[in-house]
Structure 1
Amino acid sequence: MADPGTVKDTSEPKGVARIKPEFLDPDHIPHLAEDCLSQADKDKFASGSANNGATEVDENGKESGQNSGGLSDKPAFKRLSKAEKKKLRGQNKARPPPFKVDREQILCHTLVDIVEGETPAPCNNARCFSIHDIKAFMAIRPPDIGTTCYNFEVRGRCPRGINCRFGSGHITENGFNKINEDVWKKFSSRSSPPTLNALTKDLQVSLRKRLYDFSKSEKILEVSKTQSKAGSKRTCEGEIKKEAPKLEAVAGVTGCDGSTKKVEDSPSSEVNNVSEKIGPVLDDDTIKLKPAEKKTIDWRGKLIMSPLTTVGNLPFRRICKEYGVDVTCGEMAMASSLLQGLNQEWALVKRHESEDIFGVQICGNNPYTMTKSAQVLQENIEVDFIDINMGCPIDLVYQEGAGSGLMHREKVLQSIIDSMNKVMTIPLTVKTRAGIVTGKNIAHNFMPYFRDLGASLVTVHGRSREQRYTRLADWDYIDECAKIAHPVPLFGNGDIMSYEDYKHVIDTYKNISGVMIGRGALIKPWIFTEIKEQRLWDISSRERLDIMKKYVNYGLEHWGSDTKGVESTRRFLLEWISFLHRYIPVGILECPPQKINDRPPVFKGRDELETLMASPNCAHWIQISEMLLGKVPEGFNFLPKHKANSWK
């Protein structure tokens, strides 16, 4: 198994980053921040850990003189016994939202953006619980977080109006919204908004009432079903052979072929119709486009950012675009949810105008939802390619036969790729893992399918579903897959953290066409600049804080500058900081560049801000968010994904 970059000094413990001695903090004592515990963990300690050696300590790690197994009312931190530490391993499952806005404390949307002299539209929602009296709202309006509204500066008119938490510059004493006429005129005269692909009400209604015209997809799926029943398949060499098995791909998990037999010599699901047709061909929709008729993308040498669930949102992608990424892709969207017209799913396909090559990744377990989703996306949004998710390791997705579960369902997978490719005029791409089980890589068996069924690009994440991120990516295996997939370009994904890693991969693995970067971009989004400029950037803490400020502004523009938007921005900022804090400054490392799976001993930064940014404790992440978004509201509770991040 090969990993990018040079071999490190083996005298150091494996997986430990080498920090310059003057920055080490050997006297640091880990202790627990109780505010970052789930209620279940708090109850666990309170009920079952009396007299077990837990000691209350102050913020400097000094004992307070008390000794109690339960949780006191207001201890700052707690140093736990070994038995208690075992209770804090693993992940916080089913994390609740950090904050819920009380609808009875906000102004109705019909009254929010009203300029003096305008007549507000009536509220036709009989069940609206919001405030409908502007004077009453102004009396209880929460104090502003800041004096400058980013939306007002760039638009000339803040769409959140008097609900805006930065509204002192654009709200009158009587509760009306102000307009900067010059800026607003320039903004409103644009040919298109800065954020594209919004779900229209008409499209949502047609999807929810099942009125959308899917005849194109249905014809393709019917032909595929008929051909499958005929039992004939074309091999990758173009031969026809008869097979007994019948492809059953119903619109759900039940009844789908869930067999786990190994992929054979890669037969294609595109099948010639056995019934002979006489006369002119009229069913144009079922004729596969020739490669020359499809839109194409020159992938080779481009830097692609991975589709990243939760953290790969539009504001983050804007940051990466500014640092040089070539291709971006939205977060994984479930095909079935797109077809139901769910707002939260369609929000994942929104695109910023700066994303010049943008794709949407969809996940599903049958050709019916996947093909129809591809059709509705292509016909209603601006998208350059659609990606099939074959790598999602989440149990719920995998058990339904989607994501990495498709690697066990070869016939369904063939039908999905074939049907989607026929319904689309834009490129179809596939992202897959190396395999399901550790030590049993199977992705190479699918490469002929991808090649012969018309995939424009294949990306292989060099780890199995079981491995997640506990092992280094196997670039030797990725290179083997690229050789089989030729001439289809294949990109590798895994462990790229610096220009050195990138150069090692490109110089060593000649069959690979490029790289896709995921965690490396989350930890240091300026990695794309490093690669393009072929350098190592020793970025300062102030520069990193400026990146976060820019992210916050983009978040307020995307999610809104009212209380709900502010707390949504804070939540996603905290999720991002859970990766950002892993960055080790270049000037602190003995042997730069940083390796992605290396963890440092506790260290102090070159200034207080750098030390704060390196903290793995989510209490400090919240402190950083308060520097940018003001004090967290009462009742705010952010749980880190990993329980280990409850330690300070």
Structure 2
Amino acid sequence: MESAVEVERGTAPIKEQFLTSKEKFHAFLDSGRPGQKSEDAERDSGEPEQKRIRLDSEGAPEEPEKKEEEKKRRRGQNKSRPRMKPQSYEGRRLCPSIIQERDTKCFFGDKCRFLHDVSEYMRSKAEDLGEQCYLFNTFGKCQYGVTCRFAKAHTSAEMKNLVNADLYKPSADRETVRNHLDKDLQRRLRKKQVSFSGAEAFLKTISRGKKLEEEQRDPETQESAVPPVKTVGPITDADIIKLRPCEKKQVDFRDKLYLAPLTTCGNLPFRRVCKRFGADVTCGEMAMCTNLLQGQASEWALLKRHASEDLFGVQLEGCFPDTMTRCAELLNQNIDVDFVDINSGCPIDLVYKKGGGCGLMTRTTKFEQIVRGMNSVLDVPLTVKIRTGVQQNCNVAHKLIPEMKKWGVSLITLHGRSREQRYTKSADWDYIDTCSQLAAPVPLFGNGDILSYEDAMKARETGVSGIMVARGALIKPWLFTEIKESRHWDISSSERLDILRDFSNFGLEHWGSDTQGVEKTRSFLLEWLSFLCRYIPVGLLERVPQKINERPPFYMGRDYMETLMASQHVGDWIQISEMLLGPVPNNFSFLPKHKANAYK
């Protein structure tokens, strides 16, 4: 194939025979799209063509005719993307008491808002998506019964849920996934009946220190009349009984591959995929401490841990010592984790403007109180993730790291960019090297721009104790295997589709195999596909390895599926999801982080 476009600066170098133009690329995909022939015939007959509907930043259909200037202005990241409420894809849902085939009647009786007539529900239920149910084949029973979108595999003619006695274990779910939110704990949290004795003891030392400082001030000059005493500030061993460092659980972090806590995409099914490819350390998505203290089920879901995650931690976000310390004590008593991480590197405005995330790096007094307070109530190591600083040319991490060593952190992770840089510049690994020497003997992990084993080798030449992988794992989760085996894996499109199939099955297991669970799995799959499309197969590259900040040009893959996976259009991601999870519902919509790329 002749070269259709010239490679520009910042564009990944692909072999000339694979390069093409945008028009030819989409024409090729359309030629192999299911149902495309009937659409072509419809177009030839003069009928209006059905076009993909795009959404604007507010979620409303975009006007069909827009000026070129407006289109250019609207391109880029959708930072003001509205929070999408969970959609309902069924008119009436079946009552849980019927799904679970309980012997007792529904607790709500006539006031229940769900259906109790199975035959009526079945008349409105969407068609099954397949003949085999992953949950039934794996566990011997599907807890979603007749509402499962693969129900034919495990329901009798009388609409009763079948059980495979050879596979079924009643406590299988509790064995494979831990850290569930107990209903009694949720009730006590909402009624503020949970005791935080350890946190309260620490917080008293802070308030006592403030009172002593105020009493010692000269009323005329407002200056301290006597030098500050040792009881001012952080907690001491004399104030409360606490674990000695040697009594805390020890974790060997050195020379590990650490999958970063990734918001939205770093869910439990995705972490399971990465564990299969060799990730050593995994961490849950960033959880807001205030939401956890209120007993929000959606926030507690971020703390769930799969049995395959042998070294697992959770990441907390907060900006005040009282809430962070109470939350640490709550988790210490109620969930199973190997470490707790403080997010002091989140760059988003929602978090930063409240003083959390990167904001903690500029509020060192609060930061110290948070670290010391959480350390006083935790039986597991406390780790911290930071950036180089807030402003682009004003690094402060090297000043903070020696202080954090005194505060008692067990691991520091440094992302080699500032908040202002986001992902526009390359990570500064020379600065990470400098900081790693300051951190010793506390291990410091480096993070930024790791997309190949060669990138990992260069990172290890610095003084870091280990490597954290973030975007690289989203673009190619088999990166962990490449690093451990020191090779470039020219993975085929069929192997990549098998990875997506595994993710879909894990998603059905985690979120459910009913309509709501299937569509939730699809939404997270689409979010992940928005990163996977950036991967360029090794066999197509002019120069190996691919760099993380080089954008792929339009190119033809070695088969149709490889070309389809290279598409950055959401409509093509939908097509891939339909191969794994069946057709999307009529009212399905998806609004990713890119304004010019939405589906309805």
The match for 1:557 among 490, 503, 509 is 509
The aligned runs of 1:95-494 (5 Å cut-off) are 95=82, 97=84, 100-101=87-88, 104-114=91-101, 119-124=103-108, 128-184=112-168, 187-188=169-170, 192-231=174-213, 270=234, 286-494=240-448
The Cα shift of 1:480 comes to: 1.4
The match for 1:26 among 21, 24, 40 is 21
The Cα shift of 1:601 comes to: 1.3
Cα distance in 2 between the residues matched to 1:464 and 1:588: 33
The Cα shift of 1:139 comes to: 2.4
1:591 and 2:543 aligned: yes
AA matched with 1:589: L
Deviation readout 1:351-392 (Å, 9 max, x if unpaired): 000000100000001011100111111110111100000011
> 2:218 corresponds to which residue?
none
The Cα shift of 1:14 comes to: 3.3
Deviation readout 1:297-343 (Å, 9 max, x if unpaired): 11110010100000000000000000000000000000000000000
> 2:591 corresponds to which residue?
639
SS of the residue corresponding to residue 289 of structure 1 reads: coil
SS of the residue corresponding to residue 494 of structure 2 reads: helix
Aligned residues, how many? 559
SS of the residue corresponding to residue 463 of structure 1 reads: coil
The Cα shift of 1:125 comes to: 6.7
> 2:577 corresponds to which residue?
625
SS of the residue corresponding to residue 435 of structure 2 reads: helix
Cα distance in 1 between the residues matched to 2:428 and 2:193: 47
The aligned runs of 1:38-57 (5 Å cut-off) are 38=56, 40=58, 45=63, 49=66
> 1:236 corresponds to which residue?
none
Change in Cα spacing, 1:349 to 1:43, as seen in structure 2 (3 Å) is closer
Higher deviation after alignment, 574-583 or 130-139 = 130-139
Change in Cα spacing, 1:422 to 1:243, as seen in structure 2 (3 Å) is farther
Higher deviation after alignment, 310-319 or 122-131 = 122-131
Cα distance in 2 between the residues matched to 1:223 and 1:630: 58
Change in Cα spacing, 1:497 to 1:244, as seen in structure 2 (3 Å) is farther
The Cα shift of 1:398 comes to: 0.6
Change in Cα spacing, 1:520 to 1:512, as seen in structure 2 (3 Å) is same
Cα distance in 1 between the residues matched to 2:189 and 2:421: 38
Cα distance in 2 between the residues matched to 1:150 and 1:402: 41
The Cα shift of 1:188 comes to: 2.8
Change in Cα spacing, 1:626 to 1:407, as seen in structure 2 (3 Å) is same
1:505 and 2:426 aligned: no
AA matched with 1:416: I
AA matched with 2:170: S
> 1:74 corresponds to which residue?
none
Unaligned runs of 5+ in 2: 1-5, 27-49, 215-223
Cα distance in 2 between the residues matched to 1:298 and 1:95: 41
> 2:469 corresponds to which residue?
517
Deviation readout 1:509-543 (Å, 9 max, x if unpaired): 1x211110000001100011111111110000000
Q: Kindly indicate whether the alpha-carbon contact (under 8 Å) linking 2:79 and 2:593 is maintained by their aligned counterparts in 1.
A: yes
AA matched with 1:406: L
Change in Cα spacing, 1:326 to 1:41, as seen in structure 2 (3 Å) is closer
Deviation readout 1:86-116 (Å, 9 max, x if unpaired): 33344163345486115642211110122xx
Q: Kindly indicate whether the alpha-carbon contact (under 8 Å) linking 1:98 and 1:639 is maintained by their aligned counterparts in 2.
A: no
Cα distance in 1 between the residues matched to 2:25 and 2:501: 30
Cα distance in 2 between the residues matched to 1:580 and 1:416: 37
1:37 and 2:55 aligned: yes
Change in Cα spacing, 1:587 to 1:82, as seen in structure 2 (3 Å) is farther
Q: Cα RMSD between the aligned structures?
A: 2.6
AA matched with 1:527: L
Cα distance in 1 between the residues matched to 2:583 and 2:236: 65
Deviation readout 1:563-595 (Å, 9 max, x if unpaired): 000000000000000111110000000111111
Deviation readout 1:103-159 (Å, 9 max, x if unpaired): 642211110122xxx625423276532211112112222210111111111111101
Change in Cα spacing, 1:628 to 1:206, as seen in structure 2 (3 Å) is same
Change in Cα spacing, 1:287 to 1:444, as seen in structure 2 (3 Å) is farther
Change in Cα spacing, 1:454 to 1:137, as seen in structure 2 (3 Å) is same
The Cα shift of 1:289 comes to: 2.6
AA matched with 1:559: W
Cα distance in 2 between the residues matched to 1:468 and 1:641: 15
SS of the residue corresponding to residue 341 of structure 2 reads: strand
> 2:531 corresponds to which residue?
579
Q: Kindly indicate whether the alpha-carbon contact (under 8 Å) linking 1:104 and 1:129 is maintained by their aligned counterparts in 2.
A: no
Q: Percent identity?
A: 50
Cα distance in 1 between the residues matched to 2:398 and 2:345: 14
Change in Cα spacing, 1:189 to 1:311, as seen in structure 2 (3 Å) is closer
The match for 2:500 among 534, 542, 548 is 548
Q: Kindly indicate whether the alpha-carbon contact (under 8 Å) linking 1:199 and 1:346 is maintained by their aligned counterparts in 2.
A: yes
Q: Kindly indicate whether the alpha-carbon contact (under 8 Å) linking 1:36 and 1:637 is maintained by their aligned counterparts in 2.
A: no
Q: Kindly indicate whether the alpha-carbon contact (under 8 Å) linking 2:410 and 2:442 is maintained by their aligned counterparts in 1.
A: yes
Unaligned runs of 5+ in 1: 1-10, 53-80, 233-241, 247-267, 274-280
AA matched with 2:576: I
Deviation readout 1:19-55 (Å, 9 max, x if unpaired): 0011000363799974232375866635x84xx5xxx
Cα distance in 2 between the residues matched to 1:199 and 1:553: 23
Q: Kindly indicate whether the alpha-carbon contact (under 8 Å) linking 2:81 and 2:593 is maintained by their aligned counterparts in 1.
A: no
The TM-score normalised by the length of structure 1 is 0.82
The Cα shift of 1:453 comes to: 1.1
1:601 and 2:553 aligned: yes
AA matched with 2:497: L
The Cα shift of 1:180 comes to: 0.8
Q: Write out the 4+ residue segments of structure 1 that deviate beyond 4 Å after TM superposition.
A: 29-34, 39-44, 189-192, 242-246
Higher deviation after alignment, 603-612 or 214-223 = 214-223
SS of the residue corresponding to residue 383 of structure 2 reads: strand
The Cα shift of 1:622 comes to: 0.6
Cα distance in 1 between the residues matched to 2:135 and 2:129: 14
Q: Kindly indicate whether the alpha-carbon contact (under 8 Å) linking 1:581 and 1:613 is maintained by their aligned counterparts in 2.
A: yes
Cα distance in 1 between the residues matched to 2:174 and 2:155: 27
> 2:42 corresponds to which residue?
none
Cα distance in 2 between the residues matched to 1:537 and 1:568: 31
Cα distance in 1 between the residues matched to 2:492 and 2:330: 45
Change in Cα spacing, 1:41 to 1:453, as seen in structure 2 (3 Å) is closer
The Cα shift of 1:221 comes to: 1.4
Cα distance in 1 between the residues matched to 2:394 and 2:85: 40
Cα distance in 2 between the residues matched to 1:227 and 1:272: 12
